[in-house]
Structure 1
Amino acid sequence: MGMVKQKVYDAIVVGAGASGGWAAKELTEGGMQVCLLDAGETPRQKEWLIFKQDILRKLKYRGKVDQRSLSLQRQPIQSKTVAWEWNYENFVDDIDNPYTTPDNQPFIWLRSRQVGGRMIVKAHGRQLYRLSDYDFKAANLDGYGGNWPIIHQDLAPYYAHVERWVGVRGTIEGIPHLPDSVVLPHRVLSDGEELFKVAVESRWSDRRVIPGRFAPPPSTVPIAQKTGRLKLRSNSIASHIIVDSDTGKAKGVAVIDRYTHKSYEIYAKVVILCASSIESTRLLLNSTTRQHPNGLGNSSGVLGHYLMDHLNSIQVKGIIPNPESFARNQPTGGFYIPQFRNIRDRHPNFIRGYGIQGSAAREVPEDSDRVPFTMAAFGEMLPRFENYVTLDPDHKDAWGIPVAHISCAFSDNEVAMAQDQLQTLKEMAEATGFLVELESRTLAPPGIASHEVGTARMGNDPKTSVLNRFNQSWDIPNLFITDGSCFPSQGCQNPTLTIMALTVRACDYILDQSRKGNL
């Protein structure tokens, strides 16, 4: 009998979250045969776990193990996010999936492993905002770091494509530094939010209070499956990328089964990494070869560096006095205040800026006289070489793969920004007559925002970046990375919409180059 010939896919996509799902959809609809890998379960596979968890809660754990206490023992890191409380099964087991940090320099790495990624976890904000040329060309404005290799015009049609498909809710505002999205009819601001909007905009001409822009999580994987050209492999942990020693190109991905620990290999003509910023970088660093001794695609030496995460732990909460005239149970998407620092005038203490997300008088019970409000600032972290991810050679995860070592700290710029955030939140609450009952004054460790980006940056120069303007590796032409690791700088907007748009743009390029035989 002859040897069984190994199937070679047109593309392998690693990670089935927001970016990986879009890659699978766009490439299969473009005619490619795609293998989609994810380290977690499909929603159907996870249903029985969540069902069991819900039954235990309803029984109040009578005669059973307290699942919350057990999960807390296994998830000391993941339990630090508010979304964990009712979503234990959507986050990784920290004991099986460790990572290390320097002493006294924590990083809160929140990981949600399942097909659909973090966006399908309840309590995920699902806020979707475009970046503008104030973000893509930030270095031109303040002289710090470098610009992106693209501008808003390059990404605008892909933003629009994603926005139409997912159904973004919002309003058209005409704000230069927050480009308008293609939106469906918005859900209006609540009475409390309208009160806040009038008070803020009448006092500060540079501040706009607009309805939040949001959408349900994209259900892209089922659409890709309907093409008949997708092979979905869940519970498949990518350990390293396989490189052809003759051509120097990527030829596949080595995989470990999550439950059996059996190893196998999957081959393809193109490899697209969408595993999340730190996971994709960890995978590249673990894919060393003779030609790539410091990690795959790392001829520049910047792979793993410039890690960023939004600072968002500065918050205020309280109540709205005299709410008798407010309508109750008004379902809104909350409000958003786009960046206003360092747009018109330069702040003396820090560069870049922050946006503010909040809600007021939303979903208040009819019989309650306590009408709450909350506001949180999301600030941009500067890209700095000394914030990095590497491998820890002395520690491995449950599957024998070296773990990530994360060294990341806020700079003086972020500390100064946080001080301004707190003062600004309090002054706007006071101007509206809101009573602040709780202040979160201290910067939490980076990572807590779950907006980590930047470790495999795009650029125009292969000496200072990992990827070109189409998310293509400078060193490995058939290797692409479209998750948040490609960001050269962060902006203060939630990154998911930009990640999805970049993925669609890269897939457009992959399909074109594949048809031309260039990959």
Structure 2
Amino acid sequence: MLGQKGKKVLILEAGPGIERSREDYLENFYLNTFKAPEAPYPPDATALAPAKTNVPRPTIPELVFNTWDAKPGRWREPEQSYLSYQQSQLPFASTYERLAGGTGNHWMGTALRMTDNDFKTLSDYGHGRDWPIGYDDLKKYYHQAENLIGVSGDAAEQQSIGPDFGDTNFPMRALPKSKLDQLVAERVNGKSLAVDTEDTTAQVTVTPAGRNSEPYQNRRVCRGNTNCTPMCPIQAKYDTQFALRLALDTGNVTLQSKAVVDYLTVDTSDLNTTGSNDEKKKITGVHYLTYDDISAPAKSGKTGENTVSADTYVLAAHAIENAKILLYSTKKNGVNIANSSDQVGRHLMDHPVYLAWGLTSEPVYGYRGPLSTSGIESFRDGGFRKQRAAWRIEIGNEGWNWPATDPYTTAQDYIYGTNTGQLNENNTVLSNAEYRDTCNEKLTRQFRVGFLVEQEADPENRVMLSETLVDHLGIPRPELRYNISDYVKAGFRSAKAASQKLHKLMDAKEYTKATTEVATHWFDPVDKSVYNYAGAGHVCGTHIMGDKPENSVVNDKQQSWDHPNLYIAGCGSMPSIGTQNPTLTMLAMCLRTVEEGILGV
């Protein structure tokens, strides 16, 4: 958008630039034995050598690979985990990318708007933080974002269960419901799932998605590859590298890859000793380091460094990396950079996910179509949010792939006589037609649901700088303090009860299994049960917006309170997360930042 308006823009990208073709990423994915969201993207996610990697990032293997002495997860081992934890009780379960386009390369495509009350959770429910703006302030930008990325959906259906769409509609018709969606709708529509929302009933609706139901922006129609994450092989799903190419085509945008921003500079020559003037000082430059080798471990390190200056600076490196850069900037400059409120790094949030899975009584033929085409959104808001966190239900079309890494696990169980996936109870070894028929009968009846549980803004969940750990370029690594509150845990208990009711209504056998063998678990003393949580990849908070500089990092336009020529953009500015996937809200916020902030319209 800035390039289209004639503004000259330099993008300093920490990782590699745009690949010459999608086949390069596809080849990485095919060859990677661990099919995590980061599998297609460099550096190798299984290498786990952050101190020897020029641009390391957190990965799923850090969370799920056991240590050599069989303890769950390597997240407490700084030799293998990019994020360090000294005071945390639980690991942060989401990851992100550091390459051209960032984590938007493997977003799933879900494009939901937040509800009115998501912007005022503190005022309405006594939890988290309020936004300095409301839904109406973002309404037109939501519509712009939906047209920008190309969202398929049904506005009338969405309005029946959520925010007001006015007289606008999505640019494309909704994708069709999968066979599983249809079965869930047939069995649960009109029924109550949560004991504290008896007056609210379930309604299965098609999920708006940045995925083509018809040709759009010269991109093809979705072919149902069930690979939206980590990448759509035909780019039917909008992604950030497509957006980057459009920006570069304006001729006003330059992308410099392998340029790692480590800190911002500010003129401190006329600051008094108390630092009382630093809140209004302009940023004077961006310092960055260069390198060549993207492998892990790297064979070479820093090749140079430089500082560039501009009229306006936009920090858009990701919620955790934005906080890291700002905190290191304070350390290098000797004065607070964008942190007079002491809120930088605080209020780290995600959607901890309660996964539930089972076998339906009839085939639903998963492992085809988009990863998710429908959900149950009718339980996102209500008075119950005073006592527990809300959730939305995502209906998955990929069988048990997320919770149990199927079809691989069950397929191997019947070859080797094991029961890792729980479906080979007699440890039977099968072959030939019997093997084929048994796998078909089991795999075609698998389904899973994911409860995306809202997490309230908590200043104690935070990103800090490690005092001892650095990456291969010598930049301090992030240190996290993270926990899950009683409020969120109450949401998990509600999700568990709703899952059990949903399986019963569907006449399905539930196989949901909690285990202490993974790092992402807690024991709940209320119902004396073990709970597992997954990361949604929805990293929010760390530089939240507010209505005054004393308790926030940026204003409602994502402009730093302390430095008028600095904008700190992205999901890190969100004071609350609600239950909706945050990508569309982030885009709406950034469109507003450009139009009402940077361009000053």
The TM-score, its normalising length taken from structure 1, stands at 0.80
8 Å CA contact 1:109–1:450 kept in 2: the answer is yes
8 Å CA contact 1:319–1:436 kept in 2: the answer is yes
8 Å CA contact 1:339–1:354 kept in 2: the answer is no
Distance of 1:304 and 1:176 partners within structure 2: 34
Match of 1:74 in 2: 48
Distance of 1:383 and 1:71 partners within structure 2: 29
Structure 2 CA distance for partners of 1:351 and 1:161, relative to 1, 3 Å: same
Determine which of 171, 176, 181 is the counterpart of 1:193: 181
Q: CA deviation at 1:55?
A: 8.1
8 Å CA contact 2:201–2:378 kept in 1: the answer is no
Determine which of 75, 88, 102 is the counterpart of 2:86: 102
User: Is residue 2:186 matched to residue 1:112?
Assistant: no
Distance of 2:29 and 2:342 partners within structure 1: 48
Q: CA deviation at 1:198?
A: 2.6
Structure 2 CA distance for partners of 1:372 and 1:45, relative to 1, 3 Å: same
Q: CA deviation at 1:354?
A: 0.7
User: Is residue 2:561 matched to residue 1:480?
Assistant: no
Q: CA deviation at 1:31?
A: 1.4
User: Is residue 2:263 matched to residue 1:279?
Assistant: no
Determine which of 16, 34, 48 is the counterpart of 1:41: 16
8 Å CA contact 1:191–1:361 kept in 2: the answer is no
User: Is residue 2:552 matched to residue 1:469?
Assistant: no
Distance of 2:45 and 2:333 partners within structure 1: 43
Distance of 1:250 and 1:171 partners within structure 2: 44
User: Is residue 2:305 matched to residue 1:320?
Assistant: no
8 Å CA contact 2:352–2:453 kept in 1: the answer is yes
Aligned length: 463
8 Å CA contact 2:151–2:209 kept in 1: the answer is yes
Distance of 1:105 and 1:428 partners within structure 2: 29
Give matches, 1:336-347, under 5 Å. 336-338=375-377, 340=379, 342-343=381-382, 345-346=383-384
CA deviations on 1:403-437 (whole Å, 9 max, x unpaired) are 11110100111111111111111211210212222
Match of 1:27 in 2: 2
Residue segments in structure 1 that go unaligned for 5+ positions in a row? 1-25, 59-66, 85-93
Distance of 1:488 and 1:74 partners within structure 2: 32
Q: CA deviation at 1:108?
A: 3.7
Q: CA deviation at 1:74?
A: 2.3
Look up the SS of the partner of 1:403 in the other structure: strand
Give matches, 1:188-227, under 5 Å. 188-204=176-192, 205-215=200-210, 216=237, 217-218=239-240, 219-227=242-250
User: Is residue 2:151 matched to residue 1:163?
Assistant: no
Match of 1:7 in 2: none
Look up the SS of the partner of 1:282 in the other structure: helix
CA deviations on 1:115-166 (whole Å, 9 max, x unpaired) are 1212223xx4221111121101222211234310111111111111111121
The amino acid that maps onto 2:15 is: G
Give matches, 1:257-276, under 5 Å. 257-259=290-292, 261=302, 262-276=304-318
Distance of 2:247 and 2:152 partners within structure 1: 24
Distance of 1:258 and 1:34 partners within structure 2: 22
Distance of 2:311 and 2:289 partners within structure 1: 20
Match of 1:233 in 2: 256
Give matches, 1:109-508, under 5 Å. 110-121=95-106, 124-172=107-155, 173=157, 174-175=159-160, 177-180=162-165, 182-204=170-192, 205-215=200-210, 216=237, 217-218=239-240, 219-245=242-268, 248-259=281-292, 261=302, 262-288=304-330, 293=335, 295-312=336-353, 314-323=354-363, 331=369, 333-338=372-377, 340=379, 342-343=381-382, 345-346=383-384, 350-359=387-396, 368-369=440-441, 370-440=444-514, 442=521, 448-508=535-595
Structure 2 CA distance for partners of 1:198 and 1:474, relative to 1, 3 Å: same
Distance of 1:57 and 1:239 partners within structure 2: 30
CA deviations on 1:308-337 (whole Å, 9 max, x unpaired) are 11111x2111222133xx688863542111
Once the two structures are overlaid, the 10-residue window that deviates more, 354-363 or 494-503, is: 354-363
Structure 2 CA distance for partners of 1:401 and 1:387, relative to 1, 3 Å: same
Look up the SS of the partner of 2:60 in the other structure: helix
8 Å CA contact 1:187–1:331 kept in 2: the answer is no
Q: CA deviation at 1:233?
A: 0.6
Match of 1:14 in 2: none
Percent identity between the aligned chains? 24
Q: CA deviation at 1:78?
A: 1.1
Q: CA deviation at 1:43?
A: 2.9
Once the two structures are overlaid, the 10-residue window that deviates more, 107-116 or 153-162, is: 107-116
